[in-house]
């Protein structure tokens, strides 16, 4: 596993996102309204929509294509739909605000 510095918390607006590539995988980082930072693969398990372009509601992301709702903590799709998106460990340095993602 690799722990990578991907930016600082001030780089992401509340309820916003940023994306970055690791090898061939695009990762989406989300900043919730409570300042939690969460990371998932930027690919909806339905038809591959870019989750980073969706709407953050609480700790869920609404896919911009067909409105599937995905829990950003677990990666689980909300019923009645089914599926799961990979999630990644994120830690934030409380002093500097630096964000690290472990892939």
Residues that bind ligand FES (CB under 6 A): 44, 46-49, 63, 65-66, 68
State the nearest-atom distance from the C-beta of 86 to ligand FES, in Å.
15
Q: Which is nearer to ligand FES, 6 or 49 (CB)?
A: 49
Of the candidates 98, 92, 83, 102, the one whose C-alpha atom is nearest the C-alpha of residue 8 is 98
Q: Which is nearer to ligand FES, 38 or 44 (CB)?
A: 44
Q: Which is nearer to ligand FES, 80 or 94 (CB)?
A: 80
State the nearest-atom distance from the C-beta of 17 to ligand FES, in Å.
15
Q: DSSP class of residue 9?
A: G
| SS3 state of residue 5 | strand
Give the start-end residues of each E strand in 2-102. 3-8, 16-22, 25-31, 37-41, 55-57, 60-62, 69-71, 87-92, 98-102
State the nearest-atom distance from the C-beta of 42 to ligand FES, in Å.
11
């Amino acid at each position: 596993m690799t722990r990578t510095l991907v930016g600082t918390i001030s780089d992401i607006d509340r309820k916003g996102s940023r994306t970055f590539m690791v090898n061939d995988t695009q990762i989406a980082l989300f900043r919730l309204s409570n300042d939690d930072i969460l990371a998932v693969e930027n690919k909806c398990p339905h038809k591959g929509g870019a989750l980073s372009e969706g709407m953050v509601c609480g700790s869920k992301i609404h896919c911009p294509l067909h409105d599937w709702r995905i829990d950003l903590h677990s990666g689980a799709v909300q019923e009645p739909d089914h599926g799961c998106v990979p999630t990644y460990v994120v830690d934030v340095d409380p002093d500097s605000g630096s964000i690290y993602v472990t892939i």
